[in-house]
Structure 1
Amino acid sequence: MLNHYTLLSKERTIAKPGFNRWLVPPAALAIHLCIGMAYGFSVFWLPLSKAIGIDKAVACPTGSGLMTQLFTQSCDWSVSTLSIMYTLFFVFLGSSAFLFGGWLEHAGPRKAGLVAAVCWCGGLLLTALGVYEHQLWLMWLGGGVIGGIGLGLGYISPVSTLIKWFPDKRGMATGMAIMGFGGGAMIGAPLADFLMRHFATPTSVGVWQTFLVLAGIYFIFMVGGAFGYRVPATGWKPSGWSEYSSKKQSLTTTKHVHLNVAWKTKQFWLIWGVLCLNVSAGIGILAMASPLLQEVFGGHLIGLNLSINELNADQKKQIATYAAGFTGLLSLFNIGGRFFWASFSDVIGRKVTYFIFLSLGVLLYVAIPSITHAGNLALFVLCFCIILSMYGGGFATVPAYLADIFGSQMVGAIHGRLLTAWSVAGVLGTLLITNIRDYQLAHGVAKADSYDITMYILAGLLAVGFILNLMVRPVSEDKYMSDEELARERQTAHDRVQEPSSTAVTIDGSATTTPAIVVLLAWLAVGIPLAVGIWITIQKAIVLIH
């Protein structure tokens, strides 16, 4: 076992008096912006689908199944087979967060962040090898399984730490970090596209070289983020802040529930269901955003009263440009919603915030078919932008929701268990929207009308979520740890009690001894790439707005 003299031990990450807590969010962002590239992996599917043929895909023999594509070196993979990696990402994200959340609380965020960097970047290296050797199973193992484990550890690594540093702004703090996960694809996808074009040759589509470069860049940023983590000493609080006077809602507790108890309570499973249903409703839309807009509005996007099937190849390319702008616009609202809604939840409370997500979501989904048939493109786009803002907001708000109900001592581990809801939703939401669409098309429903039933079903899911959220109540007194149990847990977690002589950091950071230039540089390191990614996405979205 690592002792307190080792560089990665939790004791070495306990902040000294005067540490500026605003250094922790950029450390979290450095990791989340890297692992958030999982959302942008679709940029690789088309190039990889012609990795052998280069200009045109080499089709596998008729009747070839999945096993053929897993091991073949003589024909190209299909996009549908490649995209299974996307599902693996989120299945193993939830699974690893479930399994290793308790370990993270005891080992500390630095060690967890470093393991996440090794898994995510090591997974990219194995994926590069899989592309180079044209072995799909190696790509699934590297990117999907090992990379997915890195996603889970990287995703939950800052949650408990941020909530303890910002007890006065729980939602805002987790919103800042989780915003990075939504924004990772904004940076990574354009960068990957540039690298693939740079490395492309007459004999290579440039994908394996791109994976190598991305692995190197991400490793540097993730290691930097991991070593930037600091945890507050037990008992630390912002000066002038009181956990008792700051309670804004009856659900907020000042006590703590152990992980082994929390995940067996009805409150945990109610919130699990709320998150699963909210994510299921949003993630399918996110996955199908581009074809959804093209198939629903078709030629109307370019001023022609034609369905998508009536357009020629050049016209379809034109509407694909608008669809890319639509996808970019949804990404912006996905990211902005993570920060806005999580921060707003600090004011109105977490339960009320979810009531807004679920009730407003129902109204929007029910209204969309009518808006579509009326041909109101602007209102259609606005509805989905609001929906995606609440999709992202649900992710960013839930850690603070858990901390309110179960306390902050083991919230990172409890959040890890809850993320299995994401794994289920990642499969459920995507299969739901694609299978219903395919079923309707197979039965003669026009493409423009094939999403109507889906919208009503998604509204139904959110209505069920509304009822589950209504049932959330504070946990009973017997579920909280006693003072003796809490002391033992803090000893196991290698927590150190705040020294009485230590100066508490003020809410605005004015009492810190950390040089302001250090804080500025830390924020610039993550802020500049994020700003570039947002600007690129805005440029794409402007096409649709025009």
Structure 2
Amino acid sequence: MRPPVAPPGWSRWLVPPAALSVHLSIGQAYAWSVFKPPLESALNLSGTQSALPFQLGIVMLGLSAAFGGTLVERNGPRWAMSVALVCFSSGFLLSALGAATEQYWLIVLGYGFVGGIGLGIGYISPVSTLIKWFPDRPGMATGIAIMGFGGGALIASPWSAQMLDSFGSDSDGIALAFLVHGLVYAVFMTLGVVLIRVPGKKSPPEARETAQTVTPTGPQVSAKQAIRTPQFWCLWLVLCLNVTAGIGILEKAAPMITDFFKDSSTPVTASAAAGFVALLSAANMAGRIGWSSTSDLIGRKNVYRLYLGVGALMYLLIALYGDASKPLFVICALVILSFYGGGFATAPAYLKDLFGTYQVGAIHGRLLTAWSLAGVLGPLIVNWVSDSQESAGKHGSSLYGLSFIIMIGLLVVGFVANELIRPVHARHHVPTPREPADDTADRDHQQPA
């Protein structure tokens, strides 16, 4: 599919809404915790088992982004958004069949494997296009779009909870909720497919700086060469550990806040827990645009120092005092999730600073394999510790103390890795942006631009 080139008079400000329509849809993944208690009850699952669809989805997100990054660069954002639409919606339809027939493996296959491919391709689909349209403000541009992924649960969490209340929280009700999700998201994602464009030579005056799309300046590194640099792997480790720390809370958010205050005078209800998930989604979303825009002003390394250093402090406060104060617990969790979202949104701009715009989409796809590992590690740490502590007779906040200490250690390691990142040596640069160093060349550069 040939990438659609923007005609004369096309506004670059139409590109972020196109990206948002996809990211707001696939961001439903962050509302998975709303489905955990009903699935555990209806299908007799443990907390670790009910996390499998989410974990596999994140694994497939990273893998499909890594292996599909080259195809996204070759075929353009419209092709990528179309593939994401088909896979993500089909995943929900398979999950609906699995819930209706009480075949949990179908839910894991549909939501986790098929839907996860849609997550990965959809996530990276607009990134390189946005950076080309907004070379002057890459952090802001990618933050606008990627905030949709963080904000998807802001819509999906209360919506899912309401559907489960209306349809019932048994297997049939869950199946119907999955079905509605699949159909509605297919319609919404179509908006992005129709609207997306790549910049052309006759782009409007406000986007003339996108001439850099044709003749990029600064360091330009191919995707193949980028993964041979220590900078890539330091940033990979930074992203992996920051995501692990955030996703551990996010995947188990609803049951976690319920457990923390189960013995208080005002326990947390199911609807309040769903509201907490929505708040976390709002913080995740706000962090993506807020912190990524801040990175344009203070630099990528400095903002990652904030994510990792202050994030560790927030975890320490929850571990020590979280069960004594609901406001403290909620505020610390919101800050952690804002850093979690900010880390994702800042990563493409960090890559652009280090490796240039030449094949930034393909490099970003490879970087997201860090998310695959973190998507397993975060929920595994929190759920495994929680299950083992419960088996030992503990309850409430005691189920999570050890996992929070582990997260603090991971964030400290990530902080050190960020300090080790330096500019990429000139020997890794491609000779010119029109002489591809490998077979992952950005075909968008060969389109009319």
Shared fold, TM over 0.5: yes
- Where 2:245 maps in the other structure, the secondary structure is helix
Aligned partners of 2:356, 2:328: CA distance in 1, in Å?
Answer: 41
Aligned partners of 2:160, 2:262: CA distance in 1, in Å?
Answer: 29
- Residues 329 and 390 (structure 1), Cα distance of their counterparts in 2 relative to 1, 3 Å cut: same
- Residues 271 and 156 (structure 1), Cα distance of their counterparts in 2 relative to 1, 3 Å cut: same
CA deviation map 1:373-419 (0-9, x unaligned): 7x344333322221111011111111111111111121111111111
Q: TM-score of the superposition, structure 2-length normalised?
A: 0.89
Aligned partners of 1:234, 1:240: CA distance in 2, in Å?
Answer: 8
- Corresponding position of 2:310: 360
In the alignment, does 2:382 pair up with 1:433?
yes
Out of 466-475 and 116-125, give the one that drifted further: 116-125
| Partner residue of 1:391 out of 318, 340, 345 | 340
- Residues 321 and 487 (structure 1), Cα distance of their counterparts in 2 relative to 1, 3 Å cut: closer
Paired amino acid for 1:330: L
Q: TM-score of the superposition, structure 1-length normalised?
A: 0.74
- Corresponding position of 1:408: 357
Out of 358-367 and 446-455, give the one that drifted further: 446-455
Shift of the alpha carbon at 1:360?
Answer: 1.0
- Residues 439 and 123 (structure 1), Cα distance of their counterparts in 2 relative to 1, 3 Å cut: closer
- Residues 457 and 44 (structure 1), Cα distance of their counterparts in 2 relative to 1, 3 Å cut: closer
- Where 1:205 maps in the other structure, the secondary structure is helix
Unmatched tracts of structure 1, length 5 or more: 1-7, 51-56, 58-75, 245-251, 303-315, 499-546
Total equivalences in the alignment: 442
| Partner residue of 1:116 out of 84, 99, 109 | 84
Unmatched tracts of structure 2, length 5 or more: none
- Corresponding position of 1:96: 64
Aligned partners of 1:294, 1:192: CA distance in 2, in Å?
Answer: 18
Shift of the alpha carbon at 1:294?
Answer: 3.7
Q: Percent of aligned pairs with the same residue?
A: 47
| Partner residue of 2:182 out of 188, 209, 215 | 215
Equivalent residues in 2 for 1:266-345, closer than 5 Å:
266-300=230-264, 302=266, 316=267, 320=270, 322-345=272-295
- Residues 205 and 255 (structure 1), Cα distance of their counterparts in 2 relative to 1, 3 Å cut: same
In the alignment, does 2:422 pair up with 1:473?
yes
Aligned partners of 1:232, 1:472: CA distance in 2, in Å?
Answer: 31
Shift of the alpha carbon at 1:447?
Answer: 3.8
- Residues 444 and 234 (structure 1), Cα distance of their counterparts in 2 relative to 1, 3 Å cut: farther
- Where 2:435 maps in the other structure, the secondary structure is helix
- Where 1:485 maps in the other structure, the secondary structure is coil
- Residues 432 and 253 (structure 1), Cα distance of their counterparts in 2 relative to 1, 3 Å cut: farther
Equivalent residues in 2 for 1:4-153, closer than 5 Å:
8-10=1-3, 13-48=4-39, 57=42, 76-78=43-45, 80=47, 81-153=49-121
- Residues 485 and 301 (structure 1), Cα distance of their counterparts in 2 relative to 1, 3 Å cut: farther
| Partner residue of 2:447 out of 493, 496, 500 | 496
Aligned partners of 2:65, 2:77: CA distance in 1, in Å?
Answer: 13
Aligned partners of 1:83, 1:361: CA distance in 2, in Å?
Answer: 24
Aligned partners of 2:242, 2:46: CA distance in 1, in Å?
Answer: 27
Shift of the alpha carbon at 1:286?
Answer: 1.7
TM-align CA RMSD: 2.9
Shift of the alpha carbon at 1:16?
Answer: 2.0
Paired amino acid for 1:110: R
Shift of the alpha carbon at 1:366?
Answer: 2.7
Shift of the alpha carbon at 1:494?
Answer: 5.9
- Where 2:447 maps in the other structure, the secondary structure is coil
CA deviation map 1:287-344 (0-9, x unaligned): 2333433443444352xxxxxxxxxxxxx5x555554443332222111111110111
- Corresponding position of 1:482: 431
In the alignment, does 2:373 pair up with 1:424?
yes
Specify which structure has the higher proportion of helix: 2
Paired amino acid for 1:435: W
Higher Cα Rg: structure 1 or 2?
A: 1
